[in-house]
Amino acid sequence: MTSDDFAVRADPFRRELLAHCYRLLGSVHDAEDLLQETMLRAWKAYERYDPSRAGLRTWLYRIATNACLTALEQRSRRPLPTGLGGPSSDDPDQPLVRGEEVPWLQPIPDAMVGDPADVLCARGSLRLAFVAALQFLPARQRAVLILREVLDWPAADVASALDMTTAAVNSALQRARARLTAAGLSEDLIGEPTDPGDRAVVERYAVAFQNADLAALAKLLTDEVVLEMPPFTTWYSGRELYIRFMARVFTLRGADWRMVPVHANGQPAMAAYVHGPDGAYLLHTLQVFTVTGAGISRMTAFQDQDLFDTFSLPARLDIANRV
C-alpha cells in the first residue's frame, strides 16, 4: 500500500470526516485543522493498516475521533449565548454586552460537508442546537454519543475505537443522555431533516426584514422564539422582546436592507446587508434559523469576519442583490 493509494482511497471521506470533527469541536477552523491532522496521522500509519480488522472509513473515523479528543483537552467548550444561563436582559433598549473572550460555536457551510440530505447530515446531526448541546458534555461522552447515535456504531466498535470497555461505553452514553436532558436539551438532539417548507418561511421573514415590517415579522415567530447574537452575550426570549429588539435595530441601522440566502448546518440561513452611507449594502450578520410547525423558534445571528470569509460572503452588495 503506497501513499498515492492512500490519497485515492481516503479522499472520498474528507467531507464527512470534516463534519465529524465539527460536531466534536464546534468550530469550522478547528475542524479543518483536525481533519488535516487526521489525514497526516493516517498517511503515516497507512502501511500498518489492516483491512481485515476494520474498513478504511471506520479506521479513519477512529483516528479523527482520537485526534479531536486530544485537541479538546486543551480547548474550552464552544457555547452559544443561550448556553451561558437565562436570558441576560428583558430590555432590548439596553446596550448589548460583548463577549469576545468566549470561544463561540460557529455554523458550518453546507457546501463544506456535502448535501445535508445525505446519511451523515440526516436526522439533524449538524443542527446548531445539537452541536451546541454537545458542548455541555465531557469530551469522551461527546464522542460516544456521536459514534453511537449519529454514526450508529455498535457499542463494541466504539469501545475498540476509544479504548474503553463496552460497559463503559454504555454507561457514558447513558450519562450523556441524562446530562442533556437535565439541561433541557433532550428535544434538541437528533431530529428530522429540515422540511423544505422551512425555507419558504425564512424567505417570508427575509421580505419582512427588508421592508422593516415588524408586524409581518411577528406573525412568523413562535411565542417563545429565541434571539441570540454571538459575540454578544445578550440574548432574548419571546416574541415581544424579539420585535422590540428589531425595532431598535431598524431605528439605529435604518430600514433599508438586503437579504441573501445561505445554507448552514442543514438549516435555512440568510446574510443580512444594511444600506451604507455610500449607497452600497454592507454585510451585517449571518443569520441561522430554526423553524418548527408553529414558525421560527430561534434565530442566531453571527458577527464574525472570519466566519463571513468561511461562507465566502461579499462585504458589499449593489442594489440589484436581494431575495
pLDDT of 40-49, one tens digit each?
999 999 998 9
User: Taking the model in full, what pTM does it have?
Assistant: 0.91
Return residue ranges of the chain for CATH 1.10.10.10.
Answer: 128-190
- As given in the structure block, the three cell numbers for residue 148 are 453511537
Does pLDDT of 188 surpass 70? no
Pairing verdict, β 257-264 and 267-275: antiparallel
Query: How many CA within 13 A on the CB side of residue 262?
Result: 29
- The single-letter DSSP state of residue 105 is -
Q: Which of 106, 124, 81 is nearest to 286 (CA)?
A: 106
First to last CA, the chain: 51
- Domain 196-317 classification at class level: alpha beta
Q: Which of 227, 252, 250, 217 is nearest to 90 (CA)?
A: 227
Does pLDDT of 291 surpass 60? yes
pLDDT in tens, 210-252: 999 999 999 999 999 999 999 999 999 999 999 999 999 999 9
Does pLDDT of 98 surpass 80? yes
Residue 226 makes CB contacts below 8 A (sequence gap 6+) with 82, 235, 236, 237, 297, 298, 299
1-74 CATH fold: Rna Polymerase Sigma Factor; Chain: A (1.10.1740)
What torsion do the CA atoms of 59, 60, 65, 68 make, to the nearest 10 degrees? 150
128-190 CATH fold: Arc Repressor Mutant, subunit A (1.10.10)
Return residue ranges of the chain for CATH 1.10.1740.10.
Answer: 1-74
